[in-house]
Amino acid sequence: MTVVPVALGARSYEVWIEAGLLARAGPALRHLANGRAMPIVTDENLRGHLPVLQASLHAVGIASEALILPPGEGTKSWTQLAAVCDCLLEQGVERGDHIIAFGGGVIGDLTGFAASILKRGCNFVQFPTTLLSQVDSSVGGKTAINSAAGKNLVGAFHQPALVLIDPDLLDTLPQRQVRAGYAEVVKYGLIDDFAFFEWCEAHAEALLRGDAAAREYAIAHSVAAKARIVGEDERETTGKRALLNLGHTFGHALEAETGFSDKLLHGEGVAAGMALAFAYSAHKGLCPGQDAERVAAHIRAVGLPDGLKAAGIAASGTRLVEHMLHDKKMASGTLPFLLARGIGQTYLDKTVDLADVAAFLDAQPRGAACVHRP
């Protein structure tokens, strides 16, 4: 088992990573249960795995009723938040209890937010089941739902008490989802860890094929990187945590253009966004062109979109920049961008001229139609 500590003073916790952990969840969680039930919030996609989790909890005497929600981004809503809160209150949840979020980023974000407001804040455990949630959203305490005004606009920082990661859960995840999650893995190399980017170049194929050692190493390394960054800037106030948003501003525009739909998954938008962030940095003379090309080549090699064309985006630069203006990272009328001086040398730039970004995007090869991704 790999244990990664997340050092946040009184809110510190650990991330446990081990193949097969699902079947050992009961023993892993017994110390938190304290004789109380541990309700589970999950979605339809996890129906096959849920009995394994519940059997393991029951075997050590932990009662656990499960609330099974519809899968998909639409579940991060006021309606489902109310449903989760009402259901947990009916089950008699108390402030010291631990709710288990068993699912991908949607379930983790929704359950974490519900836990942050129930009884003015109760405990929760993240049990992420997608690569994206294992290496990013389950660690660091960002929780949220979407509102009519945009994604993740209503939420709270609320750290979990423990994160349990079983890489074997990825065996049943659609390959497209695994690939999309991989974008957030390689992100850590691009941000500030050139050696890890080189590791990704050498091992991505094995990782995506399901090689256990490559998968576990990539998850542990990514979680450790995230824990370090979150430990330095829990609430994204110093700019350090903002580095985790590499590719997300460009990506957000592409996701908005495709209606935050299955046409472009979040990780696919991030992959294209990271390639664009490097291409823009090279275009501005900030970063060697060969670094930008190397990033794009790797993203292409793993089957992720490396720009507007591969993402099937035909919209004008002006339209894409308009989408960016609705990004929640807007502050005092300016939009901070993550740019790069090279691979592993990302920094936050608050002086980027949006008209210049629009012109850059207009000059990019673009897609004629939406690409179908198997």
Residues binding ligand GLY (CB under 6 A): 136, 140, 142, 241, 244-245
- Residue from 98, 142, 158, 187 carrying the catalytic annotation: 142
- Residue from 76, 151, 179, 248 carrying the catalytic annotation: 248
203 is catalytic: no
Q: Least distance to ligand GLY from the beta carbon of 165, Å? A: 16
Cβ(200)–Cβ(298) below 8 Å = yes
Task: Give the nearer residue to ligand GLY in terms of CB position, either 248 or 283.
Answer: 248
Q: What is the DSSP letter of 136?
A: I
Task: Give exposure, 200-231, as e/b (b: 16+ Cβ within 10 Å).
Answer: bbebbeebbeeeeebbbbbbbbbbbbbbebbb
Task: Give the nearer residue to ligand GLY in terms of CB position, either 207 or 244.
Answer: 244
* Whole-Å CA distances, 51 to 65, 88, 91, 103: 11, 20, 19, 14
14 is catalytic: no
216 is catalytic: no
Q: Least distance to ligand GLY from the beta carbon of 96, Å? A: 26
**Whole-number Å distance between alpha carbons of 39 and 107:** 13
372 is catalytic: no
Q: Least distance to ligand GLY from the beta carbon of 183, Å? A: 12
Task: Give the nearer residue to ligand GLY in terms of CB position, either 93 or 253.
Answer: 253
226 is catalytic: yes
Q: Least distance to ligand GLY from the beta carbon of 241, Å? A: 5
328 is catalytic: no
Task: Give the nearer residue to ligand GLY in terms of CB position, either 159 or 245.
Answer: 245
- Residue from 98, 252, 263, 298 carrying the catalytic annotation: 252
- Residue from 49, 98, 179, 266 carrying the catalytic annotation: 266
Collapse the DSSP code of 68 into the 3-class scheme (helix H, G, I; strand E, B; otherwise coil) and give the result: strand
Q: Least distance to ligand GLY from the beta carbon of 239, Å? A: 12
184 is catalytic: yes
Residues forming beta bridges with residue 150, ordered by sequence position: 147
The tokens for 143 are 């929780």
- Residue from 76, 215, 241, 298 carrying the catalytic annotation: 241
205 is catalytic: no
Residues forming beta bridges with residue 155, ordered by sequence position: 144
283 is catalytic: no
- The residue number with the shortest CB distance to ligand GLY is 244
**Whole-number Å distance between alpha carbons of 214 and 15:** 18
Collapse the DSSP code of 203 into the 3-class scheme (helix H, G, I; strand E, B; otherwise coil) and give the result: helix
Task: Give the nearer residue to ligand GLY in terms of CB position, either 130 or 245.
Answer: 245
The contacts found for 88-94 with CB under 8 angstroms, 24 or more apart, are: 88/39, 88/114, 88/118, 89/118, 91/37, 91/39, 91/65, 93/39, 93/118, 93/119, 93/122, 94/36, 94/119, 94/122
> What residues are labeled active site?
120, 142, 184, 226, 236, 241, 245, 248, 252, 266
